[in-house]
Structure formats: C-alpha cells, structure tokens
A and B are shown apart, each in its own frame.
Chain A
Amino acid sequence: MAYKDTMSAEAISALGGAVEELLHIGKGAPRTAEIDKVTGKAVYIDEYQRPGMLHGKILYSKHAHARISSINTDKAKALPGVRAVLTGYDVPDVRVGFLGDQTLLKRDVVRQYRDEVAAVAAITPEIAEEACRLIEVEYEPLPAVFDPLEAMKPDAPLVHEVDARGRPLRSNILPLPWKLTAGDVEKAKAESAYVVKDEASTTWINQCCMGTSGCVAEFDSNNNLTFVSLTNVVFGAKGRIASYLDNIGLKRKRIRVLNPVVGGSFGTKLDTDIYEFICIQLALQTRKPVKLQFSRDEEFFALPPRQAARFTIEQGCDKDGHLTFRKCEAILDNGAYTSWGATTPSVMMLPMSSMYRVPNVLFQATCVYTNNIYSQAMRGYGNPQAAFALETSMDHLAEVAGFDPADFRMINRNQPGDVTPMECKITTCPLDRCITAVREKIDWDQKRGKGNGRGVGMASLIHVAGGARIYMSDGTGIRIKVTENGELDVISGSTDQGQGSPTVMAQIIAEATGFMPEDVNMIFGDSALGLWDAGTHASRHTFVAGNAAVRAGAQVKQQILELAVQYIPKLVKSALKKQKRKNPDFVEPELDYSLIDSPEKMDIKNRFIFPKAEPDHPYFRMEARDVVRRGLHVGTGESKHVVAEVFWDPPTQMLNAEMKGNYSCTYAFGAAGVEVEVDKETGEVKILNLVSAHDVGRAVNPILVKGQVYGAAYQGVGMGLSERVQVVEGKVVNGNFRDYKILTAKDTFPVEAVIVEDPDPAGPYGAKGIGEPGLVPTAPAIANAVYDAVGVRILDLPITPEKVLAALKAKGE
C-alpha cells in the first residue's frame, strides 16, 4: 500500500510553520468546560429526564450455568406501577454481540451469573426493583467450567452447544486464531546465548468509572429512535442498534444517538452492552421513554471488566545483550459471551512484536469460553497485560545475561526509522530520552541492587498514538462554523468522556484559525449533527480529531482572509468616509491597499486580521468577526458564510491476514520507574516514588497531559498491587468499593510525570495520543522493583502481601 499523506498545503504550513510562534498550543489552559461538573450543574445520565419517562431494571441469573425450567412473571406484572415485564419469550430471538453469541434475555439456558433473565419497566426505579424480586425463576443447574485450561480439555462441559448460526460446537475454544509470526523463532532460540521462560498472569480489573452505566431510549410515533447513551463510539453504537432494529423488523428507522455528560469511560463505552438493547426493547414495548441506570453493584458484576490473561513468554538475547527472539502464548478466559475482550490480542501483538528491536517473533492467543463473566476494553486494551509479561521477562533476561535492566533496555531500544516485525513504521521515537529521564529521576544507579527491602524497577511501553485502524475507517469528521459574533461553533463526530477534549480541541482550533480558545464552542456526541467518527478510543482523539481540526481550521482561516481581501478595503473606506462627513477638515490618509490585496499577505491571530508586512497597521488591523459579519450581509445572492467541514482518515493500513501492517500514523513510547519498600514480615509493598516519562510528540496542554499520566499511573498501581475482580465459581464476590481495592486519596504517593517532546510530523502541531500509555508500564515496573528489593518475582497480578510473603517464605526468608 502506498504510504501517502493527504494533508493539504495549508495544514502542513500550519503544522510545520514557525513553531515558536504558537499562541495556544503548549499552554496549560484550564478546563473551563468542566466547571459545571464540579459545581453539580452538568447533566449526567443520572439527571437526564424525559416527560413520562419509565425506569427499567434487569433480573440476573442465580447460577453460573443452568437450564431455566420456568419463569413466572404474574406477581411482577400485578404490582401497581409496573408497565412492562419482559422475558426471553417476549423479545424476538435475535442475537447480538461481537460474535452473535447471546440474546438480550436468556430463555433456555443461563451461562454466567450476569445473564439477563428478565427486565421490568415501571414508573419508579424502586417499583421496577421490587417487581424484579417478584419474578419467580426455577433453574436446573448444569455442569460449569471456570478455568480456561480446564475448559480447553476435550471432556469439559460446553458453554455453548451451537454457534451464532446454529451449527453445533465441539469445543470451548473460540474461532479467533490470533497469531503473528516473523522470522524464525526456533532457530533464533537455538542460537541465543541466554534464554528465559516465564509464566505471567493478570486478572479482571473493573474500570471503576465515577458515573455508572445508563441510557435512555425513546421511540417517536413512527418508531424512529432517540437513544441517549454513554457510548464513546456514536456511530458504532448506531450501527449495532440499527442492525438490531432491522433484525426485529423495524427496518430503515432513523436513529439518533446522543451523549449526555459522561462520567468516565476507560473502555466501558466501546461496545453496546446488553442493558442498552434491553432498554430499547422496554421503550418499544411501553411506547414511553425508558431509562435504565446501573447501581454500583451492577457496575461491578454486570459490566464487562478488563480481559484477564495468562502468558507463557520466552525471550533470548546474544552475548552483547541484543534480543534474538520473543515467543509468547496467551490464553484468555473469554467468559460466557464475546465482547471486545476477545480482541485484546490485536493490541497485545503490538508490544509483543514491536517493543524493543526483536527480529524473530511468535505471538499466539487462544480465547476460551468459560462460565465466568466476560470482558471488554479497558485503558490500554491488551497492552498492560502483555507489557506485564514482556517487561518482567526483560528484567529476568537482563539478570541472566548479566546486564543492568536499564542498560539492557537501552541496548534494545526502538529507534526512528525502524520497521518492526509487525510492519509498524516507527517515525519519532525518543524512548532513549524516556528511559534516561526515569533513570535519573528515580536515582536508579544509587538505589538499584541493594536488596535491603527497598528497590527500584523499570518498564517501557509502545502504544498506538496516531489513530488505530481497527476498522476499515479510522476517520473522523469535524465542522467549524464562525458566527457573526466571532464564536466558533464546532461539531465533532467524536465524543468527550471527561478526558479534557473540549479544552484541547479549543486550543488546536484557536491556533489553526487565529481565534481564541474561549471562542470555541465544542459539541460532541450527536450522530445526527456530527460527521462519522470511528470512536474516542485507542488514545486517538487528540490526534485524529486534532488533525481534522487543523485542516478545517486552515480552511476557515483561508475563507476569512479571502473575505478580508474583499471587505477590509470597503470597511476602511466607508469608515474614512464617515469620519470625513463628521469632520470636513479630516484629511484621508494615503493607504497602501496592496498590503492586503491577497490572502497570503495577511494572517489572523488572537481574533485580529492584519497585514503580515505591518501587523499593527492602524487601519487594516481588524477584528475577524467584523469581516465575517460583513460577509454574511452582502445581499443580492453574494453573501457568504464562513464554515468548513473536514473528514479525515489517517494514511494508515488495516492489519493484513498475517496481522501485520502500519495501523497507526505514529507510536508513543515511554518508561516508568518505581521505588518500593517491601515489609518482609507482612509482605506489604509500599510505593515510595513513581516516575513516568512519556513521549507525547508535543504537549498541546501540559497540565492535561500530566493529568492523563497521573491518573493512568495510579490505575497502573491499582492493577499492580491491589485491584482484582474476585470471581468465585463464576460469581463476583467483591462487587463494591469496600472490597474492590481501588486506591483511595490516602493511598497516594509522589508521581512525577515527565513530558518528553519530539513533535511528530503526522500529529496536530506534533501531538501524539497519550490517553492510555501511562497505565501500561506501571505494574511491571512495580514487579521489577519488588524483585530488586527482596529478590522475589511475583508474576501473577495483583502483587498482594500474601503472594509476596509466600514467595519470601519459599525462598527461605
């Protein structure tokens, strides 16, 4: 495929241009758009109301695997205030989900505790809940399987007897053969001077969004649907809903998907969840708007968490410490149904093939059905899981080969111009600077290798940072309209989940157009108004929407300057005439109109148009909005509106059948260093210091970049030390914030976010995506630090005091 950039000349000049003259990029602009959130004015799904709105509730399974022998809804239906009670017998037998392996409400068999068995719509949430309690369901338990290794055995109970098309299944292994090979791993292994082999595993992690899941569905009299959803993929959600409606006989209905204010996403809003389809079905049944809102309990047991994974990883190097090969086999507990968790290997492949220079690679992943909960996306997708296996193995190999782990990483670091075994093209790559920064700031050389209960550890990362072509389109659309008052109304097809996009987009648009960030009115999350967008995921928003904004902004500026050529002379002349009328003695100045006779001779900054040759010209320097207003009021069919629309699809490749291709415009690198203290008597690990250095291309807003890194680092520490959804025989047993050990404000420790800038030619003003990277290297850095402190490798996350103490005892301490 030709590697061709479609960037316009204007956009390139906007990017490249005189960098030192940037007025808004690189400034720590405050998040003014978020004041409503902290003052309680913002309308989240919790506050969202429609006239006559009903409330939905779902009744879940009481077994991990059972046949439903009877369902009796009589008592629930008789409860005053109940408007609809649905079971699998009341909804069309239509399959949904990534592999079409489930229905909305389960009629014959439940395969996990979170299986939706019935749903109620009532006039209050309390009545709906009471009605769910009145539904009587009888089950006949079936043999269940909870361990993916057990589930792979030929005699294991089958979670599904047939596939989406009704064909019989003989195995619990999913038909998703994730495999990437490059070079000759076995030959390289035989030739390696040093080889290590380890087993590492990571568990389910809840995304813990502050806002719980919810939606409101409403049909009009023609069965057109308005769906208020927290999705971060407005058009993906719309597509899935459209196909569902199609399948139940509501063909070619108009669907509008709208976002309310969203209280965090972290991956949970990528797929359209079953509760959303159920809500739509309740709205259809009742002919009323229906809201379905999760409790925190449901958020823990009925929302898919981060995909759990087990890895067997082997790596080797030569005598000089150059990596020779990497071989990794992953087994993923898919749970009972399939959501995006099953596709996390597509991202695991990136670090497995492309983190450090490694010529021979084999990565293979097997997804296995069990009667556990199923999984989806979470910040970093499969990368944090893979990085944990990879980076702990790196430390092990460095030790065996006799290298300092930081030196070992430097020896093998990626460099600009590299094409990785996955065929990813590395453009900018300041990984060396990230590792060096961590090494210095964590005081690596002084603190490492003491073995006195304190230790330091390090890990690196690579992640997509220039979009991610996981669908045929990785595009996004934006429309910028300049109003007669000089506001910029901007509609982006993407979404804002609270990551600060209104602020960052305003900075980019202000820079590109010559207006001020406060002039920009960002509108996100509306499938009717916005142009197509592939979703706010994969750390792609600033990069992709920013690139579209730079291009649209350049067009807006060009349009205004063209109007300026036409109307500034007229506005100046009429002003002079007016002055002459008022004061007959006024002497009209001799003005050189050639200063402004073409758009190229002018520019716009901080709302003012001016001639480049004389920026402070007393007559030609003019507010841009005056020209825009004049352009709107020409009359006789000549009036013109300043508006630009850009749809931008990055110049990247879809992965081919071998799972190779340059699927992002650019890649982000980074490194984390952690200093820990381990209490040898209790096994507790205390973080003393954490440094996270990240290649961000250019920081559009350094405050927000650091915010992303801080938040991600703390999430990474949670993954490393304390967070796990505990699933006992298929049941979530710690589904609340008391027993799910997310870190609290009292558990904080110093985190230093180091911004490493190396502007990327493909990024908007050089920016790369930074939403996910901070999480990725944190947990392996902790594991490596624990090893440095007390000499035990804990390769099963989270690193709990029990595991550390047991390992210390096994070692004889």
Chain B
Amino acid sequence: MGAFTYHKPATVGEAADLAAELHGARFVAGGTDVVVLLKQRKIDPANLISLRNVAELTYIDSADGLSLGSGVTHTRIANHDYIRARYSALADGARVVGSKQIRNVATLGGNICNAAPSADTACPLLALDAAVRILGREGEREVPIDDFFLGPNKVALADGELVLGIKLPATSEKSGSAYIKHSRRQAMELPMVGVAAWVSVSIGGSEERCRGALECEHTPDVIQLLQNEEVVLEDVRIAMGVVAPRPIRAREAEAKLKGQVVSGALFESMGDVAVSECQARDSFRCDAGYRLEMVRVLTKRAILKAIDRIMRPGREADIDLLW
C-alpha cells in the first residue's frame, strides 16, 4: 500500500472540515474494506480521515422508528434485542458479515458506502425502506437508500460528503422481515445471492393454526396451511443482492404479491417476476443461471421467514432454518 496521512478527528464537525480541506481524502471507519482496497492498490489516497473517534456517529435510537449512526458496528446491531425483534432483516444481515472479528470493527456506514453488490446490510436496508442521512457542505440531507446505491462501489455522495446515519420507519406488530444470505460456507463469505423481505400481513383464519403450520418440515405444506388460514400480504418489500450491478428492489414482484393470499401458485409467479427484474451475470463466484434459480427459492423463503417472525415473535431469529 502507498503512504498516506492519517487524520483522527473527534467530532463530525472536525471530520467535515478536514474533508472539505483535503480534496480526495477517504473516510475510514472499521477499515475492513478500505484497508483491503489500499493493500490491493485499488485506492491510493494521500489522506485518510478516521471516524473511529467520532462518538457522535455511534448512536442507536429507537424512539421514533429506528435511527442508527453510521459508526455503529455490525456486532452491536446483531446483538441489539430491539433490532432483532423489529428490524430482524437488518440483524440477520449484520450477523453474517465476514467474521466475528470483522463485525466487531466494521460499521454500518462503511458497509453501505463501500456499496458492494453483495453487501449484507444493503438488502435489509432496502427492504426496511431506510433513508440515509448525509452531511455535505450545504448541510444535512436525506436520501432514500434506493437512490443512494448507484452501481458497484458507487454511491450518491459528493466529494467530502459524510454519511451520518440511517433512519428506518416504525414497524407494526403485524410486520416482520428477514434476510437470507445464500453462500458456500458460514463465515468469511460473500453471498452468491442475498434476499431480504419485509411484509405486513392480515390473517383471515387462526393465528394459532398459522403457528402450527410453521412447524411443518416441508415448505409446500407450510404454504398450503398458511393459505388455508387466509394469510394476506398487505404490504411487501423485497430486495435482492448480487443479481444486478447494485442491490435492487424487486418492485414488480412486490406488486404481484401485494393484497394477495399466500399460495404456492402466487410464489411461483412471483418468482418469475423477481427473476425478470434481475440482471445477474456469470462470475467465477457463481453462474448467473444458478443465481436466478436462487432468486426464486430465496424470495419465497425470505417472505415465509418474515411471516414466521410475525407469528412467532419470541422465537430466536434462527437464520439456519429453511425459511
């Protein structure tokens, strides 16, 4: 890696001033992406501005929806009871990033600013309808997360702009979310495909029987029993990673589902639509064809898992469960 000057501001103000002053400077928080890029010489900045001492960026505030500072680590998110209960998809994503050591230092802000198509918190934030708080020369602005990701490693930040944090809307008891990372192993991994889903439901039949349905071993049985109980997907948001140059919303698939009773046929046709929204490509990591097959499977599973979270809220968010 090349030589650089390392700056350690203590406040957001100092950090912003440094960024304004040092053209082309790079912010670094946990460093788990930036240091790799430096070592690979993919970036070679003259100045690094560290955000590690900026305490203002490490807030978690659940008073109105959920607000997270960009400096919050993945470990804190993954271990946060309220996030696990009400913003489960985000906790799911945070707990599968890299390894324990990486999660202990890597930050939420870093994960979205790096903007890898495979970023594990990106799909959850899209599905949870996050807004990004950005501080620029003109002051603070908010950008919907869907407008924040522009392409591979490209985000809607001007030179010197800083992500302060993330805002997530409030969730109701009748909504739940999940993120599924489909990967070849359990740690130190990028997903082949990542899918997050957020749903709110109404139930025509018995909640108790819905809970029973979720105990079934085979997915088709689960779906059939939920259909019997008239589980309606009142609102749905689906996000997919590694199937396009950036993490994307599956808006047409969402539209297909909205207001419908869950059923095997519905999931089948939703899968086709979701696949049509992808621009997957072949790489040595995974073939496009397989990624698209997985979009079908994982969108369905993520929705079922989100429903499971509504029905059985006390339950430990088991990411290894099939749905």
Chain A partners chain B: yes
Which A residues lie at the B interface, using CB under 8 A?
679, 681-682, 722, 726, 728, 733-734, 737-739, 741, 743-747, 800-802, 805
| Structural contact, A734 and B294, CB atoms closer than 8 A | no
- What residue in chain A is nearest B293 (Cβ atoms)? A805
| Structural contact, B185 and A744, CB atoms closer than 8 A | yes
Provide the residues of chain A in CB contact with B187, threshold 8 Å.
744-747
Provide the residues of chain A in CB contact with B184, threshold 8 Å.
722, 741, 800-801
**Nearest chain B CB to A210's CB is how many angstroms away?**
15
* Cα A103 to Cα B258 with chains together (Å): 68
| Structural contact, B185 and A741, CB atoms closer than 8 A | yes
* Cα A738 to Cα B188 with chains together (Å): 6
| Structural contact, A801 and B186, CB atoms closer than 8 A | no
**Nearest chain B CB to A212's CB is how many angstroms away?**
15
* Cα A734 to Cα B184 with chains together (Å): 14
| Structural contact, A738 and B185, CB atoms closer than 8 A | no
- What residue in chain B is nearest A742 (Cβ atoms)? B185
22 contacts between A and B (CB under 8 A): A679-B322, A682-B297, A722-B184, A726-B284, A728-B284, A734-B285, A738-B190, A741-B184, A741-B185, A743-B185, A744-B99, A744-B187, A744-B188, A745-B187, A746-B185, A747-B185, A747-B186, A747-B187, A801-B184, A801-B290, A802-B286, A802-B290
| Structural contact, A746 and B284, CB atoms closer than 8 A | no
Which B residues lie at the A interface, using CB under 8 A?
99, 182, 184-190, 219, 284-287, 290, 293-294, 297, 322
- What residue in chain A is nearest B96 (Cβ atoms)? A746
Provide the residues of chain B in CB contact with A734, threshold 8 Å.
284-285
| Structural contact, A802 and B185, CB atoms closer than 8 A | no
**Nearest chain B CB to A126's CB is how many angstroms away?**
9
Provide the residues of chain A in CB contact with B297, threshold 8 Å.
681-682
Nearest 8 pairs of A and B residues by beta carbon: A746-B186, A744-B187, A746-B187, A681-B297, A733-B284, A802-B290, A741-B184, A747-B185
In the complex with contacts A682-B297, A728-B284, A739-B285, A744-B290 CB distance below 8 A = no
* Cα A594 to Cα B284 with chains together (Å): 80
Provide the residues of chain A in CB contact with B185, threshold 8 Å.
722, 741, 743-744, 746-747
Provide the residues of chain B in CB contact with A743, threshold 8 Å.
185
* Cα A682 to Cα B189 with chains together (Å): 17
* Cα A722 to Cα B183 with chains together (Å): 11
- What residue in chain B is nearest A746 (Cβ atoms)? B186
**Nearest chain B CB to A513's CB is how many angstroms away?**
46
Provide the residues of chain A in CB contact with B294, threshold 8 Å.
682
Provide the residues of chain A in CB contact with B188, threshold 8 Å.
737-738, 744
* Cα A733 to Cα B293 with chains together (Å): 24
- What residue in chain B is nearest A802 (Cβ atoms)? B290
Provide the residues of chain A in CB contact with B190, threshold 8 Å.
738
- What residue in chain B is nearest A798 (Cβ atoms)? B184
Provide the residues of chain B in CB contact with A746, threshold 8 Å.
185-187
In the complex with contacts A738-B189, A744-B188, A805-B290 CB distance below 8 A = yes
* Cα A476 to Cα B310 with chains together (Å): 68
Provide the residues of chain A in CB contact with B189, threshold 8 Å.
738
Known: A722-B184, A722-B185, A739-B285. 17 other contacts (CB 8 A): A679-B322, A682-B182, A682-B294, A682-B297, A726-B284, A728-B284, A734-B284, A738-B189, A738-B190, A741-B184, A744-B187, A745-B187, A746-B186, A800-B184, A801-B184, A801-B290, A802-B290
* Cα A746 to Cα B187 with chains together (Å): 6
**Nearest chain A CB to B41's CB is how many angstroms away?**
9
Provide the residues of chain A in CB contact with B284, threshold 8 Å.
726, 728, 733-734, 739
**Nearest chain B CB to A498's CB is how many angstroms away?**
22
**Nearest chain A CB to B159's CB is how many angstroms away?**
28
Provide the residues of chain B in CB contact with A726, threshold 8 Å.
284
Provide the residues of chain A in CB contact with B99, threshold 8 Å.
744
| Structural contact, A802 and B186, CB atoms closer than 8 A | no
Provide the residues of chain B in CB contact with A805, threshold 8 Å.
290, 293
Provide the residues of chain B in CB contact with A802, threshold 8 Å.
286-287, 290
Task: Select the residue from B184, B284, B290 with max chain A CB neighbours within 10 A.
Answer: B184
Provide the residues of chain B in CB contact with A722, threshold 8 Å.
184-185
**Nearest chain A CB to B229's CB is how many angstroms away?**
23
Provide the residues of chain B in CB contact with A800, threshold 8 Å.
184
Provide the residues of chain A in CB contact with B293, threshold 8 Å.
805
* Cα A802 to Cα B287 with chains together (Å): 8
**Nearest chain B CB to A294's CB is how many angstroms away?**
15
**Nearest chain B CB to A64's CB is how many angstroms away?**
16
* Cα A746 to Cα B185 with chains together (Å): 8
- What residue in chain B is nearest A809 (Cβ atoms)? B293
**Nearest chain B CB to A203's CB is how many angstroms away?**
13
Task: Select the residue from B182, B185, B187, B287 with max chain A CB neighbours within 10 A.
Answer: B185
**Nearest chain B CB to A744's CB is how many angstroms away?**
4
**Nearest chain B CB to A378's CB is how many angstroms away?**
20
- What residue in chain A is nearest B182 (Cβ atoms)? A682
**Nearest chain B CB to A745's CB is how many angstroms away?**
7
Provide the residues of chain A in CB contact with B287, threshold 8 Å.
802
* Cα A732 to Cα B187 with chains together (Å): 22
* Cα A733 to Cα B284 with chains together (Å): 7
* Cα A802 to Cα B293 with chains together (Å): 10
**Nearest chain B CB to A743's CB is how many angstroms away?**
6
- What residue in chain A is nearest B286 (Cβ atoms)? A802
* Cα A232 to Cα B211 with chains together (Å): 60
**Nearest chain B CB to A802's CB is how many angstroms away?**
5
* Cα A344 to Cα B154 with chains together (Å): 48
Provide the residues of chain A in CB contact with B285, threshold 8 Å.
734, 739
**Nearest chain B CB to A281's CB is how many angstroms away?**
28
